[in-house]
Chain A
Amino acid sequence: MSLSVHIRKQVGSFALNVHFDTEDAVTGLLGASGCGKSMTLQCIAGVLRPDAGRIILDGQPLFDSARGIDLPPQQRGVGLLFQQYALFPHMTVRQNILCGLRRFRDKAERERRLHALCQTLALSGLEDHRPAQLSGGQAQRAALARMLAAEPRLLLLDEPFSALDSHLRDRLQPQLLSLLRSYGRQALLVTHSRDEAYRLCSRLCVMEHGCITRCGDTRAVFSDPRTESAARLTGCKNIFCAVKAAPHTVRLPSLGLCLTTSRPVPDTLCAVGLHAHAFDPSQPHNRFPVHWVERVEEPFETILLFRSAGQDPHAPPLWWRVPRDRLPHPLPEALGIDPQDILLLTNDPKEVSL
């Protein structure tokens, strides 16, 4: 199982320039809306044509501008699950799924597979419903069944949960994960939700403005995002400009702070990320006095906005997120940060896929 994507495409003023290779079962493309994630999927599926580059699936080129190869979507063996599912509105669930089974001449074989898919995806009893009569979760399963019916070698999932309510989303994510595991082919999942990316993907590519800014093992990308956009998209709330002061020291001018780091500071450092959970009143390292600004309550956590004593008044306040039961009372006068929790961020393109 391998997928290699190196493509360029210019649409108006937007430039898509995507490069990644993956052998993982589920790879995520994480990015804000409009960053080119869906466009990347459409290029891989063949419904959109890149300007240049190559797309290679399991050694077979699907697209290669240098060799003049551009397989039509029908011959790529790539399934695409659309954001709004794109079920054919005038057909029943059964007819929709049969669209993916047309390669079988034998009617009994088609019926057998249709039945099996409806069983697997809990669609039994809904075969004669039209898409308009289905709930969001049922429509998603019907679209999955239709896609799997064609037995694609690669599954492309475009924001599969964005059309669903949040409680449904949490329930369906584990189901999708086990379905992908049992299907046993490679999948590429596009999402703007870091939770979804973390739960479902073993490998993650972070995208911004048409480019991949960080690619790697999902856990590694979250714990060491390396680039500013990857830090922001993986949920880091405090990102500040920084300069290298010493091999293990960074200076944050807007906070008026110098922090020691456990990782060596790269020469290309441009910013530092501090997770909202990283602050600790009992941490002896990197302690600095703080002024409390605002307090926001969440169901299980409290967000405290604060400024460091020497902070530039124009810089935004920092975020500290604490579980309700661990909130000290009264609020501490100083906070510390474990030197391991300081995220060192660069804009160096070499950092992208390391």
Chain B
Amino acid sequence: MDWFPLWNSLRIAAVSSVLVFFTGIAAAYYAARLPRLVKGVLDVALTLPLVLPPTVVGYFLLLLFGSRKPLGEMLEQLGFPLVMHWYGGIAAAFIVSFPLLYRTARGAFESFDRTLAQAGQTLGLSNTYIFWRIRMPACRQGIFAGVVLAFARALGEYGATSMLIGYTPGRTATISTTVYQLWRIGEDGQAMLWVLVNLAISAAVLLTVNLLERRQKQEGRT
């Protein structure tokens, strides 16, 4: 059996989760400081991919990165054409899973006790130190939940991915596109195998979350 779809799905989800982690946190942090009107508009724009059908997101991505569009041509000249390449899947997964982290991180930042940051400042701690060593740990539960959700969503991405990178066995195939292809050509047994793989990964992710949450609760008690 060819395990490429598993490897491809995992690398797409992992890279997009890392990107989502940094950009989502930065967006959430700066959005909290913006004037209310700008924040409202930005909020809608950043959350839209959550409620749009993934095919619509894929359509927009093709509008931007299609081989005959300016941005797509630019990336092609740089040697990174997104269409029909596995790393295009990162772009699709990134856009679709970004709102999940952005929203949970923003919620966590909004409920952060401001006096903790102020205490840090009066103690002479740098703002960078306060952000990474006080604000982030205090908000870690919300942010961690956001990362896990974003990773799980990226792993299961189908609509935008299939539109942007299609299905090429051994090159762009992910678990979700493989399941569809196998079912379409009547290979139900093979499809079921991938369904089980997907179930196993999802269950493992959720189990990890629960274990970590329980450990954090114990930490808070003792």
A74 touches B124 (CB 8 A): yes
Cβ-defined partner of B116 (8 Å) among A73, A88, A133, A149: A88
Q: Can you name the residue of chain B whose Cβ is closest to the Cβ of A152?
A: B122
A79 touches B122 (CB 8 A): yes
Contact with A along B138-166 (1 / 0, CB 8 A): 10100000000000000000000000000
A73 touches B121 (CB 8 A): yes
A181 to B220, CA, bound (A): 36
Question: Is A309 part of the contact surface with B, judged by Cβ < 8 Å?
Answer: no
Q: Give every chain A residue within 8 A of B137 (Cβ-Cβ).
A: 90
B124 touches A150 (CB 8 A): yes
A102 touches B124 (CB 8 A): yes
Question: Is B125 part of the contact surface with A, judged by Cβ < 8 Å?
Answer: yes
Contact with B along A130-162 (1 / 0, CB 8 A): 001100000000000011011010000000000
CB within 8 Å of B: which A62-119 residues: 72-74, 76, 78-80, 82, 84, 86-90, 99-100, 102-103
A42 to B119, CA, bound (A): 11
Number of A-B contacts (CB under 8 A): 65
A89 touches B123 (CB 8 A): no
CB within 8 Å of B: which A45-73 residues: 45-47, 72-73
Contact with A along B2-30 (1 / 0, CB 8 A): 00000000000000000000000000000
A152 to B119, CA, bound (A): 13
A133 to B222, CA, bound (A): 7
Contact with A along B116-131 (1 / 0, CB 8 A): 1011111111100000
B119 touches A74 (CB 8 A): no
A88 touches B124 (CB 8 A): no
B125 touches A99 (CB 8 A): yes
A42 to B125, CA, bound (A): 17
Cβ-defined partner of B119 (8 Å) among A82, A90, A133: A82
Contact with A along B207-222 (1 / 0, CB 8 A): 0000000000000111
A84 to B115, CA, bound (A): 9
A189 to chain B, nearest CB (A): 16
B40 to chain A, nearest CB (A): 20
Q: Give every chain A residue within 8 A of B140 (Cβ-Cβ).
A: 90
Q: Give every chain A residue within 8 A of B222 (Cβ-Cβ).
A: 133
A86 to B123, CA, bound (A): 12
Query: A86, A100, A149 — which one has the most chain B CB atoms within 10 A of its CB?
Result: A86
B124 touches A80 (CB 8 A): no
A78 to B124, CA, bound (A): 9
Question: Is B134 part of the contact surface with A, judged by Cβ < 8 Å?
Answer: yes
CB within 8 Å of A: which B79-126 residues: 113, 115-116, 118-126
Q: Give every chain A residue within 8 A of B123 (Cβ-Cβ).
A: 79, 99-100, 146-147, 149-150
A103 touches B124 (CB 8 A): yes
Q: Give every chain B residue within 8 A of A45 (Cβ-Cβ).
A: 118, 121-122
Given A84-B115, A90-B137, A47 and B121 contact (CB-CB distance below 8 Å): yes
A88 touches B134 (CB 8 A): yes
A82 touches B125 (CB 8 A): no
A99 touches B220 (CB 8 A): no
Q: Give every chain A residue within 8 A of B125 (Cβ-Cβ).
A: 74, 99, 102
B62 to chain A, nearest CB (A): 45
A80 touches B118 (CB 8 A): yes
A280 to chain B, nearest CB (A): 48
B122 touches A150 (CB 8 A): yes
A52 to chain B, nearest CB (A): 22
B116 touches A132 (CB 8 A): no
Q: Give every chain B residue within 8 A of A46 (Cβ-Cβ).
A: 121-122
Q: Give every chain A residue within 8 A of B126 (Cβ-Cβ).
A: 74
A78 touches B138 (CB 8 A): no
B188 to chain A, nearest CB (A): 50
Q: Give every chain A residue within 8 A of B119 (Cβ-Cβ).
A: 80, 82, 86-88, 146
CB within 8 Å of A: which B56-97 residues: none
Q: Can you name the residue of chain A whose Cβ is closest to the Cβ of B116?
A: A86
B148 to chain A, nearest CB (A): 20
A12 to chain B, nearest CB (A): 14
A153 to chain B, nearest CB (A): 12
B134 touches A73 (CB 8 A): no
Q: Give every chain B residue within 8 A of A88 (Cβ-Cβ).
A: 116, 119-120, 134, 138
Q: Can you name the residue of chain A whose Cβ is closest to the Cβ of B121?
A: A73
Q: Give every chain A residue within 8 A of B220 (Cβ-Cβ).
A: 132
A116 to B150, CA, bound (A): 47
Q: Give every chain B residue within 8 A of A78 (Cβ-Cβ).
A: 122
A91 to B116, CA, bound (A): 12
Given contacts A86-B113, A133-B222, A146-B119, 6 further A-B contacts (CB under 8 A): A45-B118, A73-B122, A84-B115, A86-B116, A88-B134, A88-B138
Q: Which 3 A-B pairs have the closest CB atoms?
A: A73-B121, A86-B119, A47-B118
Cross-chain pairs A/B with CB under 8 angstroms, 15 sampled: A73-B118, A73-B122, A74-B124, A76-B122, A79-B123, A82-B119, A86-B113, A86-B116, A86-B118, A88-B116, A88-B138, A102-B125, A132-B221, A133-B222, A147-B123
What residues of chain A have their CB less than 8 Å away from a CB belonging to chain B? 42, 45-47, 72-74, 76, 78-80, 82, 84, 86-90, 99-100, 102-103, 132-133, 146-147, 149-150, 152
